[in-house]
Amino acid sequence: MQLLWGARKLVAASSAVLLIACGSGTSSASSPANNTTTPNSGVNSGVITPTPNPNLTPNEPVSMLRTDGTYWLRANSRPIQLKGVNLGNWLIQEFWMMGQGSAGIDDQCKLEAKLDQRFGYAERERLYRLYRDNWISTRDWDMIAKFGLNVVRLPFIWSVIEDEKNPGNLRSDAWVYLDKAIAEAEKRGIYVILDLHGAVGSQGWEHHSGCAGKNLYWSTPEYQQRTVWLWQQIAARYKDRAAVAGYSLLNEPWGTSEAEMARVVKGLYEAVRAVDTNHVVILPGHAAGINAYGNPAQAGIKNVAFEMHFYPGFFGWSQPGLAVHKDWLYCGSSGNGGVCEWNARLKNLNTAFLVGEFQPWAGMGAEVGGQVTRTTYDVYASYGWASTAWSYKLITNNGGQGNGTWGLVTNAPDSKIPALDFNTASLADIEALFKQFGSVNYEPQQAAMNWMTSTTAPNPFNR
């Protein structure tokens, strides 16, 4: 199989996307939202239709999860198939996901600075509360349940919890959004993976760490120590919450060497374990993979899972379509590449796995995308892997799913949104935009929903 690790989502136009390949692979800096290549011709897209499940029941009540070998287990030691989605662009912003990013304001740090400059810190904080209260609300949790999903990965930036004006101290409202997410998920039998997507100082160059082009985390001991403190605060808060599936310590830590990443992450693991011995701790892969960790159990690292992100069809890994997904999911022409290679590696390490990000529906049309989505989740689950697709919600200026956006839901064509210039937009216009994110009519990926809840499995690859 070509690619072991794919760079994620939209990158700054001036940055290259990092790709590590087995064989060939090229970098790409295109926006995933605009990648709408149609399915590869000559590959059977399947003729099976989804069978509605009249007995679709709510998820089981949550219980404290753990890992044992390569499996995720419930408290009663029964394996659980964790199939879910990322709540991207909620507690850390990615401007391509909300139809914004013009006039040089294209990451969260730039927007925060501009709002501070124009309106003051207190008003900036109010606007962000307004934004967050509208991006995800009760209707979104209900929608996630309708897709038959039982886990969400919750990306957040450090400053949601730590007071940026008083480092080493909690914000007065530090737990509002994480508490809300865990409570809403738990009501529906959905687990939450807490994902530190943006560490203080930024753990990489990419915009999705909060600040594009920064990458100061690895060279600044203070930032690393504050992250230790942050995770200990989180672990102390949630150590007894069964709805928390695990702690994903650092998202895509590409800003340093693989060895340095492993050293720092092991320190974060130890910091969490000093407070919380219950929860699964998720060890992030480097762009180069997971080899630097060695065998976790042999190092005394227990109740953990590795995490990688795979994006067949994007970022130089071929193009969206049935062929690339078939190659990946069914082990390539050799029969031992793709997911088979990863399964063998994880069995050798006897460690569980989270595919923390992947995109199985975009750019292939509703029906084919829906079938590939269900099949991808099922293949990952057959190996015992947890998986969370990127992403739940994507808003575009004109709305509509078209040939398949990167959101399980998007705004309908009758709910267009403006692209604001935050340098000049009035306070009223900014408020209106943020409120609109919560009131737009939704257009879901209906075929994906149908297949995810169907009693009949699809056969998109004619196997």
The CA distance from 65 to 59, in Å, is 15
- Residues in the chain predicted with pLDDT less than 50, given as ranges, are 1-31, 33-46
Instruction: Give residue for tokens 């063998």.
Output: 344
CATH number of 45-310+336-452: 3.20.20.80
Rounded CA separation 7/261 (Å): 17
pLDDT at 264: 98
The 10 Å CB-count burial string (b at 16+, else e) for 417-444 is beebebeebeeeebeebbebbbebebbb
C-alpha closest to that of 144 among 457, 448, 456? 448
Residue 166 CB coordination number (10 Å):
9
- The pLDDT assigned to 43 comes to 42
Is-contact 163 124, C-beta < 8 A? Answer: no
Residue spans per domain, the chain = 45-310+336-452
The model's pTM: 0.92
Quick one: pLDDT at residue 211? 94
For the stretch 193-251, pLDDT in tens is 999 999 999 999 999 999 999 999 999 999 999 999 999 999 999 999 999 999 999 99
Contact criterion met (CB below 8 Å) for 390 and 358: yes
What is the pLDDT, as a whole number, of residue 56? Answer: 63
Distance CA 5, CA 20 (A): 6
What pLDDT score does 49 carry?
83
Alpha-carbon gap, residue 260 to 449, rounded angstroms: 41
pLDDT digits (tens, 9 = 90+) for 277-297: 999 999 999 998 999 999 999
